[in-house]
Amino acid sequence: MTIEFDDFEKVDIRVGTIVYAQPLAGARKPAYALRIDFGPEIGERASSAQLTGRYAPEELIGTQICAVINFAPKRIAGFLSEVLVLGANDFDGNVILARPQYPVPNGTRLY
């Protein structure tokens, strides 16, 4: 299936820095509750992400990631997830974060 460029432009993917990461209590699958700083224009947003297979909470702090910021919020185990953190599964099924290779300003839009 192909999409038009206008369709792609509707998905708002931005870079943010993780400022908080803790295990998400009550989640069916192991996950972290994250707070991500997307810069002064967007601010901080929350996300639930299943990153426990490859990342410890303390190593996530300060990490820049890519996330879709314009999905409708979703409640997960009583936690309101406001953005979708992007990643891909490795050969063992663990999520590997999609992130910039070099630092960029928080809030930078991907294109």
Task: Give Cβ neighbours of residue 108 (< 8 Å, ≥ 6 apart).
Answer: 14, 15, 39
Q: What's the confidence (pLDDT) of residue 51?
A: 97
What mean pLDDT do residues 70-81 have? 95
- pTM to 2 decimals? 0.95
What rounded mean pLDDT belongs to the chain?
97
Q: What's the confidence (pLDDT) of residue 85?
A: 98
- The domain limits of the chain are 19-97
- The domain defined by 19-97 folds into OB fold (Dihydrolipoamide Acetyltransferase, E2P) (2.40.50)
What mean pLDDT do residues 78-102 have? 97
Q: What's the confidence (pLDDT) of residue 75?
A: 95
Q: How far is CA 37 from the centre of its chain?
A: 11
What mean pLDDT do residues 41-64 have? 97
